[in-house]
Amino acid sequence: MLGTFRSELFKMTTTRAIKVLLGFAVFLPVVIFTLTLIYGFQDGVMGSPAVVNIASTAPLVALLLGVVGVMCATQEYSQGTIRITLVATPNRQRVYVAKLLTTLYLSIVSTAILLALCLSATQIVMTIRDGQFELIGNDARVLVSFFLMTTVVSIFGLSLGLIFKSGPGAISAVLLWPTIAEGMVFGLLSVATQKNVFRWAPIQNGFQLVSEFTMEDNNSWNVSLLLFVAFVAIFAAVGASLFMKRDA
Amino acid sequence: MIVVDRLTKTYGSKKAVDDLSFTVTPGRVTGFLGPNGSGKSTTMRCMLGLDAADTGSVTFDGKRYSELNQPLTHVGSLLDAGDAHKGRSARNHLRWIAMTHGFPESRVDEVLHQVGMSEVARTKVGKFSLGMRQRLGLAVALLGNPQTVILDEPANGLDPEGIRWTREVMRSLADAGRSVLVSSHQLVELSMVADDLIVIGQGKLISAGPISQFMTQHAKTWVRVVSPQFDALAALVIAQGGTVERTSEGGDFHSVTAIQIGEIASVNNIVLHELSPQTGSLEEAFLDATDASVEFRGESTSPTTDGGQ
């Protein structure tokens, strides 16, 4: 199992497209956040405002890591290496688990680096300004939610990749569903049923996990997490099932 | 030893492989032939567990592929030279495969050297010619130093030196007691290296056995004769049931053996300048054997005679 995981991780880290995506996922939010930090905050004690700004980059990071998840599956099919992968490791369950672990590993490590850089930047700026930085209120929960959101969306991407097998199709789905399609579907359902069905939109619930405050119309953090994870779990189950059965 | 037993694979309503059985024995190079769409690649994919067979089984020394521990050390395969990420270097391509089995990096360098790619080890696969990709594919097949090797069109795109090298690799593997199954459309090459032949058409077995047996069954044989008294000899041979086809220097006798012609000539004091048994090529024998099962047939390329202007 360890060999298969190492192999999958090596595959993912030896292609330029993945490196560029991971670079964007980590450094673009850091640059945006640091500029906001430098120009947007006053001196003094800083907690929630900084974390709220870090959290605001979460959807972007999650979607980019979702694309990384997609590529963990689809680049194998587009480049034909899936045949060699399955010849080297005929146990498809093992290959699936290795791909899942690789996606999780890349997602967690990227998010950890991003958060470490953002928090370090905050600390440095506050030190220069003779202020102080400490986590207050729901800050810790928001940061944990950041990890949850990025890892679950990356699994969503991997699952779509295994279902579609085609990069363009799966990437379109992972980007368009959360940003456009889900809003349209649940918006129309809300109009049709005259009820606020939108609050049950699964990926939007995932995005709400990183909110510092819960609005009255929104679900609680626990319900949001449950909806989000359950929705992605369905795709993960379908993706895994197809991967196990389908001819390579 | 590879044993394919009653293998059947269907895609939709099309039977790609139909109740196919054959054996590939160690120490011999076995050619795997069939027209396009005959089911060769599907059979190979089913052998390696990439496609699930509907019925039947394939075993390698008694075990199914999925049951093999460290499969690359048992079976090496080259299915498609294009199965490599274009943005990854040759060495890194082999490294990720080696990692699945815990092979040391020195083994990667060893096979790169073996296939003559040491100097381009760090070059990206996308920059390789088809021939170089074939060599890389062979490196993948040889990585685990396997007991059985399955190669699908290994000489495709190779230059003459590369083709000869591939032939030597296959021969040396077989001579070392390994089972080698090779599919190829380069019949001249195959005839130079194969000991046994498995011929399929429309997913069904047409012939399996030693190449000599296949040639005896399907290749045309005739006797070439050059003689200053050719017409006299021809008349005598025709009287014995033979047929004659004139050539510029003499003629080809069919339905009669060289021994019979020699005896007729001797008894009748006919001088012979040449008396040589001839056998058709593997290509002709293959075309004869598979004629009824060719699925995709091109039109004649003879120029039209109706003016066409």
User: What does the DSSP assignment read for A171-184?
Assistant: HHHHHHIIIIIHHH
- Nearest residue in chain B measured CA to CA from A87: B48
Q: Report the number of secondary-structure helices (H) and strands (E) in chain B.
A: 10, 13
Low-confidence ranges of chain B (pLDDT < 70): 292-309
Which among B65, B79, B101 is the nearest to A83, CB-wise?
B79
First-to-final CA distance of chain B: 59
Q: What is the mean pLDDT of chain A?
A: 88
Residue B19 is assigned to a structural domain of this protein:
yes
The per-residue pLDDT for range A61-116, each reduced to its tens digit, is 999 999 999 999 999 999 999 999 999 999 999 999 999 999 999 999 999 999 99
- In A, minimum Cα distance to B74 occurs at A88
pLDDT recorded at residue A33: 87
Parent domain of A231: 2-245
In a domain, B288, yes or no: no
Reported confidence tier of residue A43, pLDDT bands at 50, 70, 90: low
pLDDT band of residue A35 (cuts 50, 70, 90) is confident
* Shortest Cα distance, chain A CAs vs residue B292, angstroms: 29
Give the pLDDT score at B92.
96
The candidate with the shortest Cα–Cα distance to B237, out of B207, B199, B267, is B267
Closest residue in A to B144 (Cα) is A88
**B136 & B64 share domain:** yes
Answer yes or no: do B197 and B54 share one domain.
yes
B188 touches chain A (CB under 8 A): no
CATH number for position B56:
3.40.50.300
As a whole number, mean pLDDT of residues A173-200 equals: 86
> Between chains, do A80 and B83 touch, taking CB under 8 Å as contact?
yes
pLDDT at B267: 93
What is residue A153's predicted lDDT score, i.e. its pLDDT?
95
* Entry pTM: 0.85
Q: Looking at the structure, do residues B73 and B191 belong to the same domain, yes or no?
A: yes
In a domain, B210, yes or no: yes
Range from A14-28, A33-47, B229-243 carrying the lowest mean pLDDT: A33-47
Which residues of A, range 10-49, sit inside 8 Å of B by Cβ?
10-11, 14-17
Residue B304 has what pLDDT? 53
Domain annotation covers residue B306: no
Is B97 part of the contact surface with chain A (CB cutoff 8 Å)? yes
Q: Which residue has the tokens 């609050």?
A: A199
Q: Does A91 touch chain B (CB under 8 A)?
A: yes
* Chain B partners within 8 Å of A87 (Cβ): 48-50, 71-72, 75, 77, 79
The verdict on residue B152 lying in a domain is yes
Question: Among candidates B7, B92, B37, which has minimal Cα distance to B294?
Answer: B37
Which chain B residue lies closest to A3 (C-alpha atoms)? B100
Q: What pLDDT does residue B301 have? A: 62
In this predicted model, what pLDDT tens digit does every residue of B216-256 receive, in sequence order?
888 788 899 999 999 999 999 999 888 998 888 889 999 89
Chain A nearest CA to B253, separation (Å): 52
Are B186 and B238 found together in one domain?
no
A47 has pLDDT over 80: no
Q: Please tell me whether residues B47 and B72 are part of one structural domain.
A: yes
Same domain, B185 and B137: yes
Domain check: are B133 and B155 in the same one? yes
Predicted local confidence at residue A49, as pLDDT: 73
* Identity of the residue in A6, A87, A247 whose CB atom sits nearest the CB atom of B52: A247
Same domain, yes or no, for B82 and B161? Answer: yes
Residues B187 and B269 in one domain: no
| CB contact burial A184-213 (16+ within 10 A = b; e otherwise) | eebeeebeeeeeebbbbbbbbbbbbbbbee
Query: Degrees (nearest 5) of the Cα angle B276, B279, B284?
Result: 150
A129 contacts: CB under 8 Å, gap ≥ 6: A43
Give chain A positions within 8 Å (CB) of B77. 87
Considering only alpha carbons, which residue of chain B is nearest residue A14?
B88
Q: Rounded to a whole number, what is the largest CA-CA distance in chain A? A: 63
Does the residue B300 lie in any domain?
no
Assess whether B235 and B170 both reside in one domain: no
- Top residue of B9, B85, B140 to mutate, by most chain A CBs within 10 Å, is B85
Same domain, B46 and B143: yes
Secondary structure E strands in chain A: 45-46, 132-133
Domain that holds residue B87: 2-217
Q: A-chain residues within 8 Å CB-CB of B80? A: 80, 83
Q: Give the residue on B whose Cα is nearest the Cα of A76.
A: B85
Q: Which of A248 and A115 is assigned the larger pLDDT?
A: A115
pLDDT of residue A201: 87
Q: How many structural domains compose chain A?
A: 1
Domain boundary among B180, B200, B217: B217
Predicted local distance difference test score (pLDDT) of residue A41: 63
Question: Nearest CA to CA, how far is B20 from chain A (Å)?
Answer: 19
- Residue at B37 is within a domain: yes
Across the interface, whether the CB atoms of B97 and A7 are under 8 A apart is answered yes
Residues B199 and B242 in one domain: no
Asked if A79's CB is within 8 angstroms of B85's CB, the reply is yes
What pLDDT is attached to residue B309? 38
Q: What is the model's pLDDT at position A244?
A: 92
Domain assignment present for residue B297? The answer is no
Which of B217, B235, B250 marks a domain boundary? B217
User: Cβ contact (<8 Å) for B99 and A16?
Assistant: no
Number of domains making up chain B: 2
